[in-house]
């Protein structure tokens, strides 16, 4: 059983289009994340939800809108795609993120987005 799954695995689209990426985890975790990994492999947090509540919202263009229908799912919708949005987007999950020791994060397989 896949712990954290993402769809689609690959996404090729043109500038200006709108696209969505879906993520699901079956680990029973309360917290989910979206990361962006650029061509230089830098891994940067974008958003995080804890039990459907947005708790981390980094400096990300408003064109990116996350949504968590329940604590097992976290989707990412991107409007008006730009060339610079091309990257690999990873979903991750962990136990509840509260002050104290950090919990390990489990990553999905990633979605490679190419904007042409």
Partner 1 sequence: GQQVMQIPQYQHVQEGEDFTTYCNSSTTLSNIQWYKQRPGGHPVFLIQLVKSGEVKKQKRLTFQFGEAKKNSSLHITATQTTDVGTYFCAGPGGGATNKLIFGTGTLLAVQP
Peptide bond just before 2 cis, omega within 30 deg: no
Using rule CB under 8 A, residue 3 touches partner 1 = no
Using rule CB under 8 A, residue 104 touches partner 1 = yes
- Of 12, 11, 16, nearest in space to 63 by CA: 16
Q: Which is nearer to partner 1, 16 or 23 (CB)?
A: 23
- By CB under 8 A, which span of 12-20, 44-52, 60-68, 76-84 interacts with partner 1? 44-52
- What is the smallest separation between the CB atom of 40 and partner 1, expressed in angstroms? 8
Contact between residue 107 and residue 6 where contact means Cβ atoms under 8 Å apart:
no
- By CB under 8 A, which span of 13-21, 62-70, 71-79, 105-113 interacts with partner 1? 105-113
Using rule CB under 8 A, residue 25 touches partner 1 = no
Interface pick for partner 1 out of 13, 72, 107, 114 (rule CB under 8 A): 107
- What is the smallest separation between the CB atom of 15 and partner 1, expressed in angstroms? 26
What's the DSSP call for residue 22? E
Give me the DSSP letters along 26-66: -S--SEEEEEEE-TT--EEEEEEEETTEEEEE-S--TTEEE
Q: How far apart are CA 112 and CA 116, in angstroms?
A: 13
Query: Given the rule CB under 8 A, which residues bind partner 1?
Result: 31, 41-45, 48, 50, 55-56, 90, 92, 94-99, 101-110
């Amino acid at each position: 059983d896949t712990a954290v799954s993402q769809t689609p695995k690959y996404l090729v689209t043109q500038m200006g289009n709108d696209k969505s990426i879906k993520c699901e985890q079956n680990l029973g975790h309360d917290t989910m994340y979206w990361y962006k990994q650029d061509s230089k492999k830098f891994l940067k947090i974008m958003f995080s939800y804890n039990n459907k509540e947005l708790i981390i919202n980094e400096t990300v263009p408003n064109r990116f809108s996350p949504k968590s229908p329940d604590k097992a799912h976290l989707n990412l919708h991107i409007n008006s795609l730009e060339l610079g949005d091309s990257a690999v987007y990873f979903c991750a999950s962990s136990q509840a993120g509260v002050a104290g020791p950090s919990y390990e994060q489990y990553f999905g397989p990633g979605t490679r987005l190419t904007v042409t």
